[in-house]
Amino acid sequence: MGMPTLTIDGKLVEFTPGQTILEVAKANGINIPTLCHLKDTTPTGACRICLVEVKGARTLVASCAMPAGNGMEVKTDTETVHVSRRLNVELLLASGNHNCLTCEKNGSCKLQSLAYAYGITDIRFKGQTQQYPAETENPLIIRDFSRCILCGRCVQACNEIQVNRAIGYGYRGAKSKIVTTGDRPYQDSDCVFCGQCVEVCPVGALTEKKAVGLGRPWETAKVRTTCPYCGVGCQMDLHVKDGKVVKVTAADGQSNKERLCVKGRFGYDFIDSPERLTTPLIKGEDGRFQEASWDEALTLVAKKFKAIKKEHGADALAGLTSARATNEENYLFQKLFRAGVGTNNVDHCARL
Amino acid sequence: MAGLAASFGSGAMTNSIQEMEQCQVALVIGSNTTENHPVIGTVLRRAVQRGGAKIIVADPRRIGLVEDAALWVRQRPGTDLALINAMIHVILKEGLQDQAFIDERTENFEALKESVRKYASAKAEKITGIPAADIEAAARLYATAERAAIFYAMGITQHVTGTDNVKALANLAMVCGHLGKPGSGVNPLRGQNNVQGACDMGGLPGDLPGYQKVANKEVLKRFKEQWNAKKLPSAPGLTLMEIMDAAHKGSIKGLFILGENPMVSDPDTGHVEKALERLDFLVVADIFLTETAALADVVLPGACWAEKEGTFTNTERRVQRVRKAVEAPGQARADWELLNDLGQRLGLDWNYKEPKKIFKEIAEVTPAYAGISHERLDSLGSLQWPCPDKKHPGTPILHTKAFTRGKGLFHVLEHQEPVERADARYPFTLTTGRNLYHYHTRTMTGRSVGLNDLAPTCKVEINPADAARLGVNNGELVQVSSRRGKIVASACVIDRVAPGVVFLPFHYADAAANMLTIGALDPVAKIPEFKVCAVQLKKVA
Ligand code: SF4
Ligand code: SF4
Ligand code: SF4
């Protein structure tokens, strides 16, 4: 039996049962804009931006939530579709404080780019007044409810990607708000500060507190690397501006699939700690450290090692290598001790 | 490491992280996954939420994953082996084993069968404190699943019986044939980012890169040629704890510590400090003046991970790139650069200019890494070893057709009581571990805004019943003392720990849990018994 098919913008395409219209479109190079859609989670159809026309349906349908059906006729590029999408963008823009100039998300905001794509130059509807003050107490994440468009991505991310189950929809109607249990601030809730909600928020409602004011997206360069903490080896992007890491975001690595934990996401500012060692130190007779040049320090180490080896043998020396150093460094370290010093007294602290 | 290598021929995680979303049963033992390997915690939780997987948690503490578990068994600290043997006993008694797998792929089964007879669940209940019915339920759940995986971490290995505990888990998996297929296996979760890599690269006293033994003449001869070395030592060297003991006794005179902080991370801190002070010469390379670096004669400033190129190997044998994003401060330099310069001063003909070139040499001498290069990693993102040639896609699952050592080997293992048990003077059992917000000895997380604010001080977890008896309230200061030392920590009164058990994170230098722990070693892996020791508690007036 052949694969089921449907027509999308006049093109006959095959699909796998279970795929949504959105997935079928994407697989065939047809772009349907989305806002609330979040990969690997249950679709909610909340934002109504991914609307398409399906022949026979009474209204436009949310393509992210609608399973593809054999013989369906789908249109993604009609006047009705565009008018509705545009209207929905306008309503979202009117729903709160969307002044881009003062927003941390300026330049990487999905609502901003949709407004731009739909040529919206002016806000037609009168916005409601701000009803919940921003939450700024915890050290890591700012929750600015005035910018929240209630798309629910953060809820999906927290409950289905990280499965921390810390947030959900609260209150009703115009009072709707994303809340923790008991509507407490993050730091007094089940939140574990993985930051996945920040990662997926399409607008400026959730932002990294430590990164505020440190760089616009177009000013920073991203460097892909591996997390320096636990053995999961999450892939991450370091956002660099003027020689400084200003933010960390998750990358789609094979082990982490765009997830990070609190350490990987927020544990980066030790890099710029004023306590970093910046010069070799040699302990003087008085037991105090004195700054030294690399040449002095390494020459002293080599001299001492040679003297100990001469007097007591190579096995009077030992080296502890590091589970934090790179493979290349671990390799050189053991080679140094085996080939250079002449001992197998090499270990590291993985046993611990 | 040593345990799995003895059973299977390879000490590494048998399966891969993301495939675990498809497992049906996960036995999580001695791993507080959601705090110590949070992203693996998310995979397990998604397996439950999306795939209806069932989790069995075996842990003395009510860890986060208990919420998601189909079954939680709370063993008395240090009795894991009795629990595992009892599970095997149930499986064999009820005929739930995979006899075909046992017959074709393993050896020494009869001896195992005989040895677990002693571990009837009623008897194991007395040792472990777990109701016999729960032991049986756990055994059935694990054995009858089609895809069942075991996860373990320090809670299993940091005991005098650590190596045996791991072999016992290998026995369990082999009895049920839960190996060599997706969503199964025996999966150690490595604590530090590059523990796997440090071992792979020969950061072990008996192993050259790729676990090639120094004691093997053929191997040594080949390395002599490849390294162009006149001679190489063939006698296995000392392990970390033996090095500390030897330093204490005076037979180790000079020590180089690269980026580690044994003053906080090692057991019986008082002993470590004396050992380091007795050295004639101590060199420490690190990014901060740690407690250990402060004792050094020479301190070398290192570059941190964001300031250098290289690779790390994660817990699932996945080699991934580390890339330079910023410059190191002042004169700080990457470890590979300073090692190169030191090598030259020690008379080696070294001239390493780039990590990429060092990696090329690693691939030449390490069969499992032979097909990996920075270039391939840059285009593919990652590769899992073994990756024997430049076309090889890497190996997500080990032991699919045969074990690395050929047949899987069953081991006969007996329960042993922890070295130190609670008694009248030290009536509490202390176990140690990590918390979510910190990493190791806090040299990095302690200096990161936010992380330190969320977990700034050391807290000792005490069961409410014990706290009431001691008259201690949440947040009050308590003195925790063992035969080796004492610390003060604030009380966290919570039923996460059982009555009679207390828990301390080991991150904090000012309240170093390892002042209290024991240096007693597992005879094979030489891992100290961090997890269990006896302590007394006193409210600080
Ligand atoms: S906080 Fe962001 S992600 Fe969450 S509902 Fe509001 S706009 Fe959507
Ligand atoms: S930081 Fe993580 S745990 Fe906290 S609300 Fe966001 S997604 Fe949930
Ligand atoms: S982000 Fe968290 S889970 Fe991922 S590697 Fe880093 S410490 Fe581990």
Contact A320 B260 (CB under 8 A): yes
CB atoms within 10 A of CB A265: 26
pLDDT tier for residue A125 given thresholds of 50, 70 and 90: low
Provide the pLDDT confidence category of residue A116 given band limits of 50, 70 and 90: confident
| Segment 123-142 of chain B within 8 Å of chain A by CB | none
Phi and psi at residue B319, in whole multiples of 5°?
-90, 125
Domain limits of chain B? Answer: 2-189, 195-384, 428-539
Interface contact B237, partner A, CB < 8 A:
yes
Residue type, A243: G
Residue A233 has pLDDT above 50, yes or no: yes
Q: Do domains B195-384 and B428-539 have the same CATH topology?
A: no
Kindly report the protein residue whose alpha carbon is nearest to atom 2 of ligand 2.
A194
Kindly write down the DSSP assignment for every residue of B384-425, as one continuous string. ESP--STT----SSS-SSSBTTBSEE---------SS---SS
| Contact partners, residue A300, CB within 8 Å, separation at least 6 | A282, A292, B298
Tokens 């037979």 map to which residue?
B251
Which of B258, B317, B348, B352 to mutate against chain A (most A CBs within 10 Å)?
B258
Query: What stretches in chain B show pLDDT beneath 70?
Result: 1-2, 159-161, 262-269, 435-447, 450, 452, 456, 507-531
Distance CA(B144)–CA(B46), nearest Å, equals 21
- Write down the architecture of domain A5-77 according to CATH: Roll (3.10)
Q: Report the range of poorest mean pLDDT among A22-26, A263-267, A347-351, B399-403.
A: A347-351
Q: How far apart are CA A346 and CA B99, in angstroms?
A: 42
SS3 B209: helix
Question: Mapped to the 3 state alphabet, what secondary structure does B39-98 carry?
Answer: HHHHHHHHHHHHHCCEEEEECCCCCHHHHHCCEEECCCCCCHHHHHHHHHHHHHHCCCCC
For residue A267, give the nearest of B187, B21, B440, B500 by alpha carbon: B440
User: Using a CB-CB distance cutoff of 8 angstroms, which residues of chain B are in contact with residue A244?
Assistant: 326
pLDDT of residue B397: 92
The C-alpha atoms of residue B167 and residue B408 are separated, in whole angstroms, by 11
pLDDT at A352 over 50: no
Q: Which residue has the higher pLDDT, A294 or B241?
A: A294
Looking at domain B195-384, which CATH architecture does it have? Answer: 3-Layer(aba) Sandwich (3.40)
pLDDT category of residue A93 using cuts at 50, 70 and 90:
confident
Whether the per-residue pLDDT at A323 is higher than 50: the answer is yes
Residues of chain A with C-beta less than 8 angstroms from the C-beta of B336: 326, 328-329, 332
Interface confidence, given as ipTM, is: 0.89
pLDDT in tens, A302-320: 999 999 999 999 999 999 9
Alpha-carbon gap, residue A81 to A52, rounded angstroms: 6
Instruction: List Cβ neighbours of B152 (8 Å cut-off, separation of 6 or more).
Output: B28, B29, B30, B31, B165, B166, B169, B186, B187, B188, B189
- The more confident residue out of B117 and A217 is B117
Nearest in space to B67 (alpha carbons), one of B101, B33, B98 = B33
A191 touches chain B (CB under 8 A): no
Q: Which residues of B touch A210 (CB under 8 A)?
A: 449-450
Indicate whether residue A205 lines ligand 1 (CB < 6 A): yes
Which tokens hold the place of B147? 């895809």
Strand (E) or helix (H) holding B143: helix B132-144
Q: Is A179 in the pocket of ligand 1 (CB under 6 A)?
A: no
DSSP H or E stretch at residue B166? helix B162-176
Pair B119, B93: CB distance under 8 Å: no
Q: In this predicted structure, what is the pLDDT of residue A155? A: 94
Mean pLDDT over the full length of chain A: 90
Nearest CA in chain A to B155: A352
What is the tens place of the pLDDT at every residue in A135-193? 888 889 999 998 898 899 999 999 999 999 999 998 888 888 999 988 999 988 889 99
| pLDDT of the residue at A124 | 67
pTM recorded for the entire structure = 0.89
Q: Which CATH class is domain A127-272?
A: alpha beta
Minimal-distance CA residue to ligand 2 atom 4:
A191
Mutate to test the interface with B, among A181, A252, A270 (most CBs of B within 10 A): A270
- What average pLDDT score do residues A260-285 get? 92
The SS3 assignment for A262 reads helix
Residue A127 pLDDT level (bands cut at 50, 70, 90): low
How much distance in Å is there from the Cα of A127 to the middle of ligand 1? 17
pLDDT tens figures, A45-68: 888 899 999 998 889 999 999 999
- CA within 13 Å, CB half, A79: 0
Q: Which string of DSSP letters, residue by residue, matches A8-37?
A: ETTEEEE--TT-BHHHHHHHTT-----SS-
Q: Is B377 on the interface with A (CB under 8 A)?
A: no
If we measure between CA atoms, which residue out of B48, B18, B26 comes closest to residue A160? B48
Q: Which CATH class is domain B2-189?
A: alpha beta
Residue B484: predicted pLDDT: 79
Q: How far is B137 from chain A (nearest CA, A)?
A: 26
Q: How far is Cα A232 from Cα B34, in angstroms, rounded to an integer?
A: 12
Whether domain B428-539 has CATH 2.40.40.20: the reply is: yes
Chain B residues with beta carbon closer than 8 angstroms to that of A340 = 342-343, 346-348
Q: Residue A350's pLDDT is what?
A: 56
Helix axis angle, A327-335 relative to B335-345, nearest 10°? 20
Q: How many CA atoms lie within 13 A of A202 on its CB side?
A: 24
